[in-house]
Amino acid sequence: MHFFSQLFNYEHPWSHVVIGMWHKYPNPHCSHVVTVDTLSRTIDPKTGIVRTERVLGCKQKAPTWIVKLFGGSEDAFVREISFIDPATQRATITSVNLSLSQFATCLEQVQYFPSSPHRTAFSQTAEVQARLALWRMAADGLEKWLVQRFEQNAQLGKVALSDVLRTLWEERHAAHV
């Protein structure tokens, strides 16, 4: 598993940052995010917490070996869940990749909270994890296939040389007669 984290401040009050969140895309600095769709949204009538589920469409060129191995494409989708709690002044956003998620997941968590009335702290952590169980299954399958191919080819090799030997020596015998 690999981790990433960072923490910094925006020189804007929390409410401005949280309002701005919904206006982040499209953005020339993040041109890889091309589509943003809201799938569900609830406003809790008790706590006032706004929960939003979105799906972000990204165009990011994956390394060619990844595309070849896993059959990925340029389009990648991410599921994002956000909670905005006005009472505690905290916004929490969790994202996970949908594309290629059978091989590896990248789980990101972002929080925005006031560090002063005029500043907002941004904390971000991400963990990338390959699905080892699946890799192992894939590796097992590959090994089985390779052994089968080897057995088949070994059989063919036997037949091939037997043929050559028969032809060669039958011809030579014939020549001596």
Partner 1 sequence: MAHSLSEECTPLKHKYDSCFNAWFEGYLEPAMNVSADAQQRETYSKQKAAEYEEKCGKIWESYRLCVQKAVKDKGLDTLLQQAREENPLTEPPPVDKSSSPSPNS
Binding site for partner 1 (CB under 8 A): 7, 14-15, 18-19, 22-23, 25-26, 33-41, 43-51, 55, 57, 77, 79, 81, 83-87, 89-90, 92, 94, 96, 98-99, 101, 109, 111, 113-116, 121, 123, 125
| Residue 12 DSSP class | S
CB of 56 to partner 1, least distance (A): 8
SS3 content of the chain, % helix, strand, coil (to 5): 35, 40, 25
CB of 132 to partner 1, least distance (A): 16
Query: Which residue lies nearer to partner 1 by CB, 66 or 119?
Result: 119
CB of 136 to partner 1, least distance (A): 19
Query: Which residue lies nearer to partner 1 by CB, 15 or 167?
Result: 15
Query: Which residue lies nearer to partner 1 by CB, 26 or 141?
Result: 26
- Cβ neighbours of residue 123 closer than 8 Å, sequence gap 6 or more: 5, 6, 7, 110, 111, 113
CB of 145 to partner 1, least distance (A): 26
What contacts 24+ positions apart, CB below 8 Å, involve 16-20?
A: 16/120, 17/91, 17/112, 17/120, 17/122, 18/84, 18/91, 18/112
Query: Which residue lies nearer to partner 1 by CB, 6 or 64?
Result: 6
Distance CA 92, CA 14 (A): 13
CB of 77 to partner 1, least distance (A): 6
Residue 143, SS3?
Answer: helix
Length of the chain: 177
Query: Which residue lies nearer to partner 1 by CB, 49 or 62?
Result: 49
H/E segment holding residue 27: none
